[in-house]
Structure 1
């Protein structure tokens, strides 16, 4: 299975370095019994030819630790880049994601640090070398994390049932004191433009079918509408194919985005005339949209 996670940022108020960015990911929807095969953080860098020498910079990702220990930041990964580079920067996030899923209370996010390769003490703003941050206008270049999971079998699921129940109880106990997202309200993340179900009532009279349909007079059919923009969150019911397609779309614009379409349909029963004499009650499949998703 593949899951993507949108990014939220904020300044790290309790960390000494002020010229960096805080990146936070809500991973609470990852089942605790999923095996994490790999995880990546991706940051987009626009080319910036306005900066003078030095042209080589180091981008470093740290794990934020605010648990009372003396160490405030823990090194995760780093990469060297130049001001002329254009494209995605990839960082290994397997360790932090695994830790956040097992111990959700430790999820204090990441710290992004940028400095000249030969001046480690001089920290810069990520935007200075063209890195796109959360909240910037370039929506398709926002930072994101992608996780690759191996789902366990049925027998192993039974074996780990107690582990899941313990995780749910632990999560429930901490929800009141520890917010899922310490930087923003999760409800505000919902976009009315995202793929979702819309109301639609179909009147058989409007279709001029009242002469042969006895009942019902109409029904609530609903329909799917909205965008399938990256990242595809859990409420979008995206398939693995759709998630991969959005990743490819980020690299190659000629590949279209996934489409918003029904993921579940239900039947309705219709009473109607046949040859003006016989009456038949028939159930028609796939008539009502029950849920929508990106495909």
Structure 2
């Protein structure tokens, strides 16, 4: 009988320890479900901070960002994406668009449907890459040409003077090569107010005498026949009205951002918090790294891969020294708290007293590359308030 008893006990023990109860399963599912809902809500709120309802859909076609946009990003932002100088960028958004027409003529069409109607158009530029003349026609009596950019007023193959409006015109050397930039702000503003008026742009090349120039002599790169790095491009500078009254703008003596401490491993990619006993440490700035790869946004964000937002933590004990950057109000509150003059008055709080903006370079839904500046994203310094 002993072996049978052992078998029965084994079955009972096994049933108790390996088979979770219904309540346990429900609790585990609830915790997992709550965690998923919290993550979903958190990412939704983070997208709102970046002015988006949903993350862009790149469809796995992760193209290379135009060199102009990469250079512009590096001009306005440091390696962490923090703005070098808030006055370097006109507005807070720069968008690049590639030609959708790929015409045999020097004619271009740009789809601006991703630009919100509320955005204020500040400047619009047509970027064209001028190629060198072909060798067979290099030696020519013409040294300069007149290049003009027209706004097409109606969809017509004749392109007569009545069908177009001059936007920009200037002399170019026939033998030069490289990027040429033409202002087309007026046309883009009209397109934004009336989407149906966007019939595209036409570029003409004439001699100083007004006759047509040999197409082999003056050539511009097209999206159909040349490398992506030389494609015709429209660059749009706008302001979306989201600029905040940032604390950095209220301080004329904005200090340079101190370098973040070098962190290793996963600990370097998450916020490190103080132990309860460390609350006695004075108010200070601590790392808070936002990793776009961990969030799941690395597929559409070009730069930065993440950034250090920092956070403020610590105590504001009496007496408050100037190193704690206290406001007059915080100093008075600290005194009232220390003297117990009024019941229920707490010590001042350790908060960010200087904020910096960051820049994001990313692909939108139409695979255009956008450079956007976001205010109040990085704690520059902490103080007792």
Could you say which structure has the higher strand fraction? Answer: 1
**Greater helix share, structure number:** 2
TM-score by length of 2: 0.38
State the TM-score, normalized to the length of structure 1. Answer: 0.49
